[in-house]
Structure 1
Amino acid sequence: MTDRLLTPDDFARLRDLRATRPADVRDAVASRSRRELLASDGRLFIVAADHPARGALAVGENATAMADRYELLERMAIALSRPGVDGVLGTPDIIDDLAALGLLENKIVVGSMNRGGLRGASFEMDDRYGAYDVPSMIASRIDVAKTLIRINLNDPATAPTLEATARAVTEAAAAGLPIMLEPFLSGWSNGRVVNDLSTDAVILSIAIAAGLGASSAYTWMKLPVVDDMERVMAATTMPTLLLGGDSGADPDQTFAAWQDALSLPGVRGLTVGRTLLYPPDGDVAAAVDIAAGLVHRAEPDLSIERRNP
Structure 2
Amino acid sequence: MSISSNKSSPLRIAILGGGRIGSAFAFHFARNTRHEVTIIARPNSARLAQLQRDGGIVTTTHEHASATICDTLDGNIPYDLLLVTVKDYQVRSLLPALTRSADRKIHFMFMTFEPDRLRQAVGPERTVIGMPFIQSDFDANGHLKMSVGKRETLTNDPEWAHLFRAAGLPARHEPQMALWLRCHVPLGAAFESVAVAGVQRGRGASWSRAQTLALGVRACFAMIRSQGYEIYPKDKARLEKLPVSIVTTMLWGLSRVPTFRTLLATGKAECCALVDDMLESAPTAAQSVEANAICAMKPE
Report the TM-score when normalising by structure 1.
Answer: 0.25
More helix by share: 2
Report the TM-score when normalising by structure 2.
Answer: 0.26
Whichever of the two has the greater Rg, that structure is 2
